[in-house]
Amino acid sequence: MTTPTTLYQKLVASHTVAVLDEQNVLLFCDLHLMNEYTSPQAFAGLHEAGRGVPVPGQNVAVVSHIIPTHPVRWRTIQDPPSALQASNLKANCDRHGIPLFDTNDPLQGIEHVIAPEHGMVRPGMVIICGDSHTTTYGALGALGFGIGTSEVEHVLATQTLVYRLAKDMRIRVDGVLPTGTTAKDLILMVISRIGAQGARGYVVEFCGSAITALSVEARFTLCNMAVEAGARGALIAPDATAIDYVLAKAPDITGDMRTQALAHWATLRSDAGAAFDMEHVFDAAEVAPFVTWGTSPDQAMAIHATVPRPEDIADAVQRSSAEQALRYTALSAGQPLAGVPVQHVFIGSCTNARIEDLREVD
């Protein structure tokens, strides 16, 4: 009898080139996303060793993090270090034939926003990037995770990665989210309950009726922020909602390719009886509009709550962290969060800067 396996285990097994030892495998990467700030040293190492990029089409670069917020950004990037990063990325991509969404490309945008919007992300893929929020792509049933600069070089040279296996965590959320709450509120509640290191060493699979009711954009937010709980990856099994999104963004999936893709995607779910190393269960009805009162994502609570008193926190490290956070935010223990004035609102992040988020604040 076949042992039931989790979605995470299936994705790793289907991409394992070689088993190195009990904890490490050589993993094939379907898509490698790059940006301007974690790739320069990797390209330098590649060139010093006299190596090329054997599969340039499976590497895609985006000028993302140093884009000016000025609406007339195409004039030039005024900050010299940022301008150098952008020009270096272009030179490296030109040298190796790597597709680039450059500064003034009309399709350029936040890397974790445009990749799925341009049809690059599909269920069952392994996607890596020199950025921690690569977990975003789990919303479509793809295993995404961040890597370091030395690993970027290794992937450029081989399209593979020495990968340390993670543990499996399942987070089930059932019920209906209250009116006025969002996926951002849900994930902040989860992080506040399990802690900023609560998922450290795990790949998290989200499931339950509240999860399947979310839009794809909301699922992106959920998986994006799983890393703020220490997760090495986040996954949601692809359902009709996710598959409809993918097919709409990738019109090239037609005919036999579509038939084969749909058949494969239908297998991308955890088997009944699959064992998880840790599980958490939450009720969506408990979610409220959440806000952070401190400097860590787990220092968050419902908007109707009051700022906690550090002396009530038993753990000495957490108590000290709370004291430092309150000094930084200038909030007072016991102060109601409702009514605290808001000076600035930033919506241009990879967490939730998609069209439905922008419409919310229009």
Q: In what order do the strands lie in the sheet with 233-235?
A: 233-235, 202-207, 167-174, 278-283
Structure confidence at residue 69 (pLDDT): 73
pLDDT of 159 higher than 70: yes
Average pLDDT of the segment spanning 209-224: 97
The total number of residues shown for the chain amounts to: 362
Structure confidence at residue 58 (pLDDT): 98
pLDDT of 329 higher than 90: yes
pLDDT tens column, 32-64: 999 998 899 999 999 999 999 999 999 999 998
Evaluate the CA torsion angle 336, 338, 342, 347 in order and state its sign. Answer: positive
Percent of the chain at pLDDT > 70 equals 98
pLDDT band at 74 (very low <50, low <70, confident <90, very high): low
In the numeric block, the tokens 């239908």 are attached to: 266
pLDDT of 353 higher than 90: no
What DSSP string describes 245-313?
HHHHH-TT--HHHHHHHHHHHTT-SPPTT---SEEEEEEGGG---EEESSSSTTSEEETTSBPPPGGG-
Task: Point out the least confidently predicted range of 245-249, 277-281, 315-319, 345-349.
Answer: 345-349
pLDDT of 356 higher than 90: no
Encode burial over 264-277: b for 16+ CB neighbours within 10 A, e otherwise: ebeebbbeeebebe
pLDDT of 276 higher than 70: yes
Rounded CA-CA distance 107/118 in Å is 8
pLDDT of 75 higher than 70: no
Among the CATH numbers 3.30.470.10, 3.30.499.10, 3.20.20.70, 3.30.420.40, which is that of 7-285+348-360? Answer: 3.30.499.10
